[in-house]
Chain A
Amino acid sequence: MITNLDMLFVGVGGQGVLTASDIAAQVGLDLGLDAKKSEVHGFAQRGGVVDSHVRWAPAVGSPTCEKGTVDVLMAFELLEAGRWVDWLRPGGMIVVNRQQITPMSVSIANAVYPDEAALLAALRGRASKVVVVDALPLAEEAGNTRTVNTIMLAALSTLLETDAEVWETAILRRVPQRYADVNREAFRLGRAAAG
């Protein structure tokens, strides 16, 4: 039974990071805990880095986590896991999507997108467990590329060994009715991939 959990959701604007973190916070409430979540939108969100904090506890104080204390890092984009991994506590866990979204510093300047194998190896050196999810093809298989966030939540629900139904219900309550089936399928695929 989880009583305290700090999660950091990171990715790129447009990936559904904020919606996913909303749902994760709601699941905290549904599990009988207090929950808070915090994000910043506006200027940075335009194709930039997005980060959203989700905290579960009997009574949450700060809506943001503290660097070096995060239990689970949810990286919706591969290199973003590297940018944010120093927020993880020793022994924390990572769920990382293999999807790569090229930053402008790579396409219009001389920065280099990190090598996947090297990055994943480095992440493994920092975490007790790294779950690698290939969420984009799974989302396509489910029928809509915008279900990447549902796939990621499915993987998280598996990692946390929490009641899958609570998550699925929270997701379906949040997404538009006409996308219920495709999200149900995405959730199933995400669970299977992370299991």
Chain B
Amino acid sequence: MKVLLSGNEAIALGAWEAGIQYASAYPGTPSTEILENFARYPGIRAEWASNEKVALDNAVGAAFGGARTLAAMKHVGVNVAADSLMSVSYTGVKGALILVSADDPGCLSSQNEQDNRQYARFGKFPCIDPADSDEARRFVGIAVDVSEQFRTPVMLRTTTRLSHSKSAVEARVPDAREFKPLSPFDREDGLDRTILPEVARRRHPEIEARLNAIAEWSATEGFDCGVNRIEWGETDIGIVTSGITYQYVRELAGHKSILKLGMSYPLPLDRIREFAESVDTLIVVEELDPFIEEQIRAAGIVVAHGKDVIPICGELTLAAVRQGLYEAGLLAAPLEQPAPFEDVTVPRRPPALCPGCPHRAFFYNLRRHKRKAVLAGDIGCYSMGAMPPYEAMDMVISMGASIGMAHGFARAGGQESAIATIGDSTFFHSGMAPLASAVYNRSNIAVAILDNRITAMTGQQQNPGTGITLQGEQGHEIDIAMVCRAMGVTFVEEVNAWDVNAVNKVLRDALAHEDGPAVVVVRGACVFTPHFHLQPKMHVDLAKCVTCGSCFRVGCPAIIKSDEIYPTSGKQKAAVDPLLCTGCTVCMQVCPVQAIGPAEREGSLQEAL
């Protein structure tokens, strides 16, 4: 029986089938569901690490011991792990080491659209790109074989469109499996795990030779096992493609000859040359960088079209590939587009903090400090603090960067105060090192740690601050305030996230603090956690509303415009959407005329609930 699995679910299944016994990851869209699903299989251990480098290091240690291992992360997470990645390529591994890199062409949920195939060339290890869920599952097994045969880390690269698309896979009910501990550690197994300069110098030529051997494998066994394949069709045009892009090519040009490269690095250049010589015109269709195209051209193979017709920026789609193939002369006509819909103006619907979100009162207050402070933000749901109505974020670049940026701004002689905003999971990811640096170098920055008791943006994953492990066991819960005090922060205050005035007061106190960094831990559970409790819904007493707009400025999707106009201002009075309201009371607290309160005050609690 076939079932629909997402690319990520399929990778998890494939990993289990391939005998991966230990996996570690830091959540990051679009990679998160890989570990969440893998964690449910029997006889394995799966963990959330505090960041991607830790995840990879965990997997390296396990692979050094002989285990088959996997580390999963989003594309920018590989940047965090890159230090170890580059070196483990030199040392090699004993058990398989699979690095899943989930790239995000189109920046659907990311800060850039870097093409991580470049890491494979940079780090001199192979990269495997599946094109659907069935391949994602099977290619994990192939990646494990290649990793162990060549003692190399292998990148299994997916993209958002593969990770989050579902396609049919033969169903499998996992049979019982016992967790197998490692064999006794064997120092004499020929693997040099200590990457000292002398070892690195000796290993480098061996890595170059390994890469040649893997290219040879790709040209031979790579075709036998189906990771690479040629689908012969008409030979006037031949298309080289890879990954999810293959699906667009097959759909639009399935009648032409297609060379599908499941291993995008190293390339089987002689086989590509043969293919090129068997067709009249060669086209390369790939997403993001001209990664395959440039290597083919460098090998002296004539490429008629590549990035001259296929966009380098953004996610590829049927439409983009259709246009490219049309420009390349393969398709007779572009698709006729219906006229844009302009009959009715459709308002934008930007993402927003959820109703009840514990970040709301903080950003409502933070925006008031904009004139006197520079606001350094970080990566998480709270990145939405940059958007209206708060617009309370002046800089965001990467995970954990907020504290370091605030410190640098202050130490460079910034005229304004500097406030860093960072989440709980992000603090454990990469916020502790910059805080240590700020304490050590004594800057008077304010640091707000928004502790919503979960890793929220990626879909509610546990982290060291919650103390629950990925496999649902009780781990150790780390107290953020205690960590900060232990580092030597002399101002550490915890505050209830929904108490608007208390948050404001503690922020002011933190800004006034002049003995090194001041830390405010804003505590309140994400609405999607079991710790969040619905309260009686809010209700606007229209007789009292004076349309001052205060409640709208809290930026809650549950605050809407009513049909009633306040004559003095001519504006619509506020109302609360009872379907959305969680009763967090932030709007009630900011209303200067006490027009908002629990719905029961109006005797309509029953109705509102």
Contacts and interface: CB of A to CB of B under 8 A. Distances in A.
Interface of A: 12-13, 22, 25-26, 29, 34-49, 60-69, 79-80, 82-83, 85-86, 88-90, 101-109, 111-115, 118-119, 122, 125-126, 136, 145
Contact of A42 (B388, B458, B552): B458
27 contacts: A13-B351, A29-B2, A37-B165, A40-B109, A40-B164, A41-B109, A44-B109, A46-B381, A60-B167, A62-B247, A66-B335, A80-B349, A83-B346, A86-B341, A89-B338, A101-B577, A102-B561, A104-B350, A104-B555, A104-B557, A105-B349, A106-B560, A107-B560, A112-B345, A112-B347, A113-B347, A114-B345
A29 B4 contact: yes
Interface string B324-362: 000000000001111111011111111111100000000
Nearest to A87: B338
Contact of B4 (A37, A40, A108, A115): A37
A68 B346 contact: no
Contacts of A22: 4, 166
Contacts of A43: 29, 108-109, 351, 383, 457
A36 B168 CA distance: 7
B460 interface: no
B384 interface: yes
Given A36-B165, A106-B561, A86 B4 contact: no
A46 B2 CA distance: 32
Given A36-B167, A63-B167, A104-B555, A90 B338 contact: yes
B166 A25 contact: yes
A115 B3 CA distance: 42
A99 B334 CA distance: 36
Contact of A63 (B165, B345, B348): B165
B338 A34 contact: no
A36 B347 CA distance: 30
A79 B345 CA distance: 9
A51 B460 CA distance: 21
B250 interface: yes
A62 B577 CA distance: 39
B164 A105 contact: no
B232 to A, nearest CB: 18
B61 interface: no
B560 A102 contact: yes
Nearest to B7: A63
Nearest to A85: B341
Nearest to B456: A46
B161 interface: yes
A77 to B, nearest CB: 9
Given A40-B160, A61-B251, A66-B317, A47 B458 contact: no
B317 A122 contact: no
Interface string B291-327: 0000000000000000000000000011100100000
A79 B108 contact: no
Range of interface residues on chain B? 35 or more
A46 to B, nearest CB: 4
Contacts of B161: 38, 63-64
A70 B423 CA distance: 40
**Chain B contact residues: helix, strand, loop or mixed:** loop
A100 B231 CA distance: 49
B256 to A, nearest CB: 14
Contacts of B388: 104, 108-109
Contacts of B475: none
B351 A46 contact: yes
B537 to A, nearest CB: 13
Contact of A47 (B167, B244, B354, B553): B354
B32 to A, nearest CB: 9
Contacts of A13: 351
Given A62-B248, A106-B561, 13 more contacts: A41-B29, A42-B109, A42-B458, A43-B29, A61-B248, A62-B247, A63-B161, A64-B318, A83-B346, A90-B338, A103-B348, A105-B348, A108-B389
Instruction: With a 10 A CB-CB cut-off, give which of A26, A36, A46 has the most chain B CB atoms.
Output: A46
Contacts of A66: 317-319, 322, 335
B168 A79 contact: no
B583 interface: no
Contacts of B351: 13, 43-48
Nearest to B557: A47
A102 B348 CA distance: 10
B162 to A, nearest CB: 8
Contact of B348 (A67, A89, A111, A114): A111
B592 interface: no
A61 to B, nearest CB: 3
A91 B256 CA distance: 30
A103 B336 CA distance: 31
Given A25-B4, A42-B109, A118-B344, A36 B352 contact: no
A136 B577 CA distance: 14
B42 interface: no
B166 A37 contact: yes
Contact of B247 (A48, A61, A85, A90): A61
Contacts of A115: 344
A125 B29 CA distance: 39
Contact of B347 (A64, A90, A103): A103
Interface in B157-177: 160-161, 164-168
Contacts of B126: none
A115 B580 CA distance: 22
B112 to A, nearest CB: 14
B168 A35 contact: yes
Instruction: With a 10 A CB-CB cut-off, give which of B2, B165, B168, B383 has the most chain A CB atoms.
Output: B165
Contacts of B3: 29
Contacts of B141: none
A36 B319 CA distance: 18
B559 interface: yes
Nearest to B384: A46
Contacts of A105: 347-350
A67 B168 contact: no
